[in-house]
Amino acid sequence: MSASRRRHREVHLGSRSNWLRAAVLGANDGILSTASLVLGVAGAGGSSAAVLTAGIAGMVAGALSMAAGEYVSVSSQRDTEEADLRLERRELAADPAGELRELAGIYRARGLPADLAQEVAAALTAHGALEAHSRDELGLEQSRRARPLQAAGSSAAAFSAGAILPLGAAALASGSIREGAVVVVTLLALALLGATGARLGGAPPLLATGRVLLWGSLAMAITYAIGVATGGVV
Task: Render pLDDT for 108-126 as a digit per residue (tens, 0 to 9).
Answer: 888 888 888 888 888 888 8
Helical pair 96-109 and 114-136, crossing angle rounded to 10 deg: 100
Q: What is the pLDDT of residue 223?
A: 92
d(CA 197, CA 210): 12
Q: Which of 44-48, 150-154, 200-204, 207-211 has the lowest mean pLDDT?
A: 200-204
Domain boundaries, the chain: 20-38+54-233
Q: What is the pLDDT of residue 220?
A: 92
Task: Render pLDDT for 32-42 as a digit per residue (tens, 0 to 9).
Answer: 999 999 999 98
Q: What is the pLDDT of residue 125?
A: 86
Global pTM value: 0.69
Q: Is 202 exposed, middle or buried (0-12, 13-18, 19+ CB in 10 A)?
A: exposed
pLDDT band at 98 (very low <50, low <70, confident <90, very high): confident
**Mean predicted lDDT score pLDDT of the chain:** 83
Contact 213, 191 (CB under 8 A): yes
Q: What is the pLDDT of residue 2?
A: 46
3-state secondary structure the chain: CCHHHHHHCCCCCHHHHHHHHHHHHHHHHHHHHHHHHHHHHHHCCCCHHHHHHHHHHHHHHHHHHHHHHHHHHHHHHHHHHHHHHHHHHHHHHHCHHHHHHHHHHHHHHCCCCHHHHHHHHHHHHHHHHHHHHHHHCCCCCHHHCCCHHHHHHHHHHHHHHHHHHHHHHHHHCCHHHHHHHHHHHHHHHHHHHHHHHHHHHCCCHHHHHHHHHHHHHHHHHHHHHHHHHHHHHC
Cα atoms in the 13 Å half-sphere on the side-chain side of 72: 6
